[in-house]
Chains A and B, each alone.
Chain A
Amino acid sequence: MLTSDDGDEVLQGTLDMLVLKTLVLEPMHGWGITERLQQWSDSVLQLNQGTLYRSLYRLERQGLIKSDWKNTENNRRARYYALTAAGRRKLTQEEKSWARISRAVNLVLRYGEG
């Protein structure tokens, strides 16, 4: 489960989108993805490792990412994940719909504050 630092759960569908996003720049291993998510979210988003790997395996089965063994700069063997073309398209689409939904949610909230 993806949780924020104060323990709130984050929408489950969002995790896959965030994982895809972390791979936009370069292929990465599971540990790297954890670190990057934490960095990019200013340590707000905490990732359960089990959930991460489930997400990775799921995305790989769906053909959105692919993986391969490579050596890290410290010469350790690690599994690197990279976006596929389908993954990139999916991410763009998800970002758009996220933007629309979050805008809508914000509008509603702001309206309430009036």
Chain B
Amino acid sequence: MHAFDACVARVRATIALLFGYRHDVADESRFDEEFEFHVAMATEKNVRAGMSPDEARRVALLAFGGRTHMKEGAMEERRSRPLQDFVRDLKFGFRTLGRERSFAIATIGTTALGIAGAVTVFSFVDALFLRPLRVPSGDRVVHVRYAGQHGERQWLGLDAARLLRQQTRSFDVVAVHRSRAMLNAIINNESSSQFAAFISSDYFRALGLRPALGRFFVASEDSVPDRDYVVVIAYSVWQTAFAGDSAVLGQTIHLRGQALRIVGVAPRGFDGVAVGGFANTLWLPTALLRFVGPPCVFQHPCREVSVLARLAPGASAAQADAELATLSKRLSAASFGDDSLRIASVIGMMGLPPEYRGEYVAIARLLSGIAALLLVIACANLSGLLLARGVARRREVALRLSLGASRLRIVRQMLTESLTIALIGGAIGTWWSTIAVGQLMGLFAADSEGFRHLYYFTLDRRGLGVALALSIVTTLAFGVLPALSTARTDPAETIKEGSARVVGARLRLTLIASQVSLSLALLVGATLLTRSYARLMEGQLFDARHVAMLRIRPTSVPYDVPQSHAYLARLVEKLESLPEVESVAFRRNWGMLWHHSTWEVSARRPSAQSPYKAELHSISPRFFATLKIPVLMGREFAARDRPGAPLVAMVNARLAGQLWPGQRDVIGQTITLEDSTFRVVGVVPDYEVHAGNEAPHPAAYIPFWQNPLAPEMDARLAVRVRRDAAAALPALRAAAMQVDPAVPITEMLPMTDQVSATFSELELGKTVMVAAAGVALLLCGLGLYGLVAFLAARRTREIGVRMALGAGRNTIVGMFIRQGMIAVTCGIVVGLAGALVATKALSSWLIDVPPLDIPSFAIALSLVAGIAAMASYLPARRAAAIDPVSALRSD
């Protein structure tokens, strides 16, 4: 009860403080004493004037009016009333904005643009790095990882998890998972790609989740390899494949010919913990890890799974780290089978898992930089607008000052108006950002195989908080200067003179200059990235247009090598028979068709000792013809290069240069790849796409059918069609299904989509930068237009005088343009210097474009100069068009 009273008292005190109804006992007793003194003095005076003491006191009291009423009045004067004043200012702010429509649109629009950019980027950074996992115990669940040598993180594995379960007090649940496995499943007789997580039985308990239906795994189901074929399905699978039927429990799905029994359905909205990977649709016990290849689970040492744990009540991350340190030798033995020192530590489950974070730091920095620049530009613009309006309102302010308003009150009122702008602009900007996030992040989340990855790009409470805080802080911060400058108005001066002194113009010119410089820097970056992207899409040595890609996986049926080869041969024959197909090529499953291979081998001349590293591509006949990559020398593979025929290889120009330096013709030379020796039959250019200053990789090519190093099974196909690749996809799939419906197609998209998805960061960076540069340029133009128009308006009479004295319209126009252009030139000089430095930071994004690319600088410069010229010329011409007589008459 006592606590309740204290709570009520605190709430009341807070309300009183806000509304100014502070109940001040000291104030009251002071008033009472003053009152009594006053009445006593008045009574004495009345007695001296001849009244009776009673009469004297009655008259004295009368002079006060009602005592209580008067006390209330006096008390009210003691209080300051922050909230009432604020509400009044807010109403006034709304009214003023309603009256000054164009000012309102300009300021609110500027704020909205700045905020939209910032909130969009925040949503991105948040989803990647900051957002805690959305599960009931999200704030207690942690990854446990080793720090690797190069900042990467390594998994602990199953044995280490068991050790942690037995030996630690900091964790109350220790679970393991492997959350990134793509499997082909047959559910209700339909084949589809599913994304599985292999988990220990306490995984869901660690996350604090309960099944939507049925149950999760029991410990015994995860104790013996390949005994209990059980599966938990995602809520979405339950809804789409089983129509939400509760009879789903006990039904089976098939993975690689094996039936698995559905024991439970995961709760709605739970997509697993693999942020940045695929959204999980199936959960299987780790005992079934053989579905993703020959596992080492239940052998020693084995690190095929990652550990996640829930901190025990009261345990902190630091305590857990300390406890892990005491176990480091035994952990190392459990994970690696040796006792070398490794540091395991806990990492909060926010955004991407730690091992993938490094990849996205660069794009996050780039986007944050762009958003910051945009916000600064928006703020400069806003400041300029407020300053201009402040000048226009000097008379109003002077009048209010002379009527006794305090300067503080004026400043506060102007800041409240800024706040009104901030709130409306912030709300609109936040709304815009949700649209932008949807568009841009959709682009980012699609991977190079056409799958969408798991990111939570939706705006949540934290995003809204950031939006609100940013709008208020920026608008107030940039509203202070104009507010102070306006409140500094000298009432006497202003009213008397009706003065036309151009106060704030210098500040506004500086603001314009800074806007110009930032816009120019953004624009240079945008042009560089756009040109890079254009090179990526068009300027390469391969032609991605009209090429459809398919990835087929006979291994997941599962077929053996002869079966796979037979299938692939039939598939190619079938596809080539289609009328719209021009040519079909394929290559080994690993790596992109046009990009580096992940398969690296040693390459040397048979006589040489020291080998070079080369990427190995195993490719079909007519591979280069299909992608329209020119063969520099010799021939490419043909049907005759089959098993049993002499071994042949091709090399790229880079590898040829390394192995046979200075030699022009390398056809007929022999090359040893690993332990097999091949005769070189052709040379191709270094056609692979690479960004930044990366040198082309040396590469060797061997025939797919002939590969003596490893048997080929799964493949990626490139099908050149006569029309639009996207439109051809259904026909290609239908043809493949006719050949063999059992073989899953796990990737199907136009090659152009794959190329841009592989460089999704470049595409994202480019799109954001172009948008930001466009907005910056627009703001800059509007700001300059407004300033020149304003300067011209202040000098209407001067224009009249000059024209009356014979100045031509061009002279007048020139006069105003010159003023704006000085600021613009300063801005351009600073902006160029900034861009020279800033583009260095972009160099790792650039493809075939140097950071100091002259055309990019020229394009950006001419755009800025052009917009600036227009923005000064138009208002200047309007000013000069005035009739000299009416100009002279103006105030």
Q: B residues near A, CB below 8 A?
A: 30-31, 33-35, 37-38, 40-42, 63-65, 69-70, 73-80, 402-404, 406
CB distance from A89 to the nearest CB of B (A): 12
Contact B42 A31, beta carbon cutoff 8 Å: yes
Known: A48-B63, A79-B33, A97-B402. 7 other contacts (CB 8 A): A13-B404, A29-B38, A31-B41, A48-B64, A49-B70, A53-B74, A79-B37
Contact A57 B74, beta carbon cutoff 8 Å: yes
Which chain A residue lies CB-closest to B62?
A: A49
Measured between alpha carbons, how far is A49 from B31 in the docked complex, in Å? 13
Contacts of A62 in B (CB 8 A): 406
Would you list 9 pairs from A and B whose C-beta atoms are within 8 A, ordered by A residue?
A49-B65, A50-B74, A53-B34, A53-B70, A53-B74, A53-B77, A54-B73, A61-B77, A97-B402
Measured between alpha carbons, how far is A31 from B42 in the docked complex, in Å? 8
Contact B74 A30, beta carbon cutoff 8 Å: no
User: Does A24 make an interface contact (CB < 8 A)?
Assistant: no
Q: A13-B403, A53-B31, A53-B70 are in contact. Are A29 and B37 (CB under 8 A)?
A: yes
Task: Pick the residue among B34, B80, B403 that contacts A78 (CB under 8 A).
Answer: B34
User: Does A77 make an interface contact (CB < 8 A)?
Assistant: yes
Task: Pick the residue among A16, A50, A94 that contacts B64 (CB under 8 A).
Answer: A50
CB distance from B132 to the nearest CB of A (A): 47
Measured between alpha carbons, how far is A29 from B35 in the docked complex, in Å? 11
Contacts of A29 in B (CB 8 A): 34, 37-38
CB distance from B22 to the nearest CB of A (A): 12
Q: A residues near B, CB below 8 A?
A: 13, 16, 29-31, 34, 48-50, 53-55, 57-58, 60-62, 76-79, 94, 97
CB distance from B426 to the nearest CB of A (A): 33
Contacts of B35 in A (CB 8 A): 53
Which chain A residue lies CB-closest to B79?
A: A61
Contacts of B403 in A (CB 8 A): 13
Which chain A residue lies CB-closest to B37?
A: A78
Which chain A residue lies CB-closest to B60?
A: A49
Contacts of B402 in A (CB 8 A): 97
Contacts of A54 in B (CB 8 A): 73-74, 76-77
Measured between alpha carbons, how far is A61 from B78 in the docked complex, in Å? 6
Which chain A residue lies CB-closest to B406?
A: A62
Q: A50-B65, A50-B70 are in contact. Are A57 and B37 (CB under 8 A)?
A: no
Task: Pick the residue among B30, B38, B80 that contacts A49 (CB under 8 A).
Answer: B38
Measured between alpha carbons, how far is A48 from B41 in the docked complex, in Å? 15
Q: A54-B73, A54-B77 are in contact. Are A48 and B38 (CB under 8 A)?
A: no
Contact B65 A48, beta carbon cutoff 8 Å: yes
Contacts of A53 in B (CB 8 A): 31, 34-35, 70, 73-74, 77
Contact B73 A50, beta carbon cutoff 8 Å: yes
Which chain A residue lies CB-closest to B63?
A: A49
Measured between alpha carbons, how far is A57 from B28 in the docked complex, in Å? 12
Contacts of A34 in B (CB 8 A): 38
Measured between alpha carbons, how far is A94 from B173 in the docked complex, in Å? 75
Contacts of A50 in B (CB 8 A): 64-65, 69-70, 73-74
Which chain B residue lies CB-closest to A31?
A: B41
Contact A57 B64, beta carbon cutoff 8 Å: no
Contacts of B42 in A (CB 8 A): 31
CB distance from B165 to the nearest CB of A (A): 66
Which chain B residue lies CB-closest to A97?
A: B402
Which chain B residue lies CB-closest to A63?
A: B406
Which chain A residue lies CB-closest to B27?
A: A57
Contacts of A48 in B (CB 8 A): 63-65
CB distance from B59 to the nearest CB of A (A): 12
Measured between alpha carbons, how far is A76 from B38 in the docked complex, in Å? 11
Contacts of A30 in B (CB 8 A): 34, 37-38
Contacts of B41 in A (CB 8 A): 31
CB distance from A3 to the nearest CB of B (A): 12
Contacts of B74 in A (CB 8 A): 50, 53-54, 57
Measured between alpha carbons, how far is A94 from B492 in the docked complex, in Å? 12
Measured between alpha carbons, how far is A97 from B65 in the docked complex, in Å? 32
Q: A48-B65, A49-B63, A50-B69 are in contact. Are A77 and B77 (CB under 8 A)?
A: no
Contact B70 A77, beta carbon cutoff 8 Å: no
Which chain A residue lies CB-closest to B66?
A: A50
Contacts of A13 in B (CB 8 A): 403-404
Contact B69 A76, beta carbon cutoff 8 Å: no
Which chain A residue lies CB-closest to B409?
A: A62
Measured between alpha carbons, how far is A60 from B37 in the docked complex, in Å? 19
Contacts of B79 in A (CB 8 A): 61
Measured between alpha carbons, how far is A48 from B63 in the docked complex, in Å? 6
Which chain B residue lies CB-closest to A57?
A: B77
Contact A79 B34, beta carbon cutoff 8 Å: yes
Measured between alpha carbons, how far is A76 from B65 in the docked complex, in Å? 24
8 pairs of A and B residues whose beta carbons are closest in the complex? A50-B70, A57-B77, A58-B77, A31-B41, A49-B64, A53-B74, A54-B77, A31-B38
Contacts of A94 in B (CB 8 A): 404
Contacts of B31 in A (CB 8 A): 53
Contacts of A97 in B (CB 8 A): 402
Contacts of A76 in B (CB 8 A): 37, 40
CB distance from A106 to the nearest CB of B (A): 19
Measured between alpha carbons, how far is A79 from B79 in the docked complex, in Å? 19
Measured between alpha carbons, how far is A106 from B888 in the docked complex, in Å? 33
Contacts of A79 in B (CB 8 A): 30, 33-34, 37
Measured between alpha carbons, how far is A78 from B76 in the docked complex, in Å? 21
Measured between alpha carbons, how far is A34 from B60 in the docked complex, in Å? 12
CB distance from A81 to the nearest CB of B (A): 10
Contacts of B80 in A (CB 8 A): 61
Measured between alpha carbons, how far is A101 from B31 in the docked complex, in Å? 35
CB distance from A67 to the nearest CB of B (A): 9
Contact A57 B78, beta carbon cutoff 8 Å: yes
Measured between alpha carbons, how far is A53 from B74 in the docked complex, in Å? 6
CB distance from B494 to the nearest CB of A (A): 13
CB distance from A76 to the nearest CB of B (A): 7
Which chain B residue lies CB-closest to A47?
A: B63
Measured between alpha carbons, how far is A16 from B37 in the docked complex, in Å? 22
**Among B38, B69, B79, which residue has the most Cβ atoms of chain A within 10 A?**
B38
Contacts of B38 in A (CB 8 A): 29-31, 34, 49
Measured between alpha carbons, how far is A48 from B74 in the docked complex, in Å? 13
Measured between alpha carbons, how far is A30 from B34 in the docked complex, in Å? 8
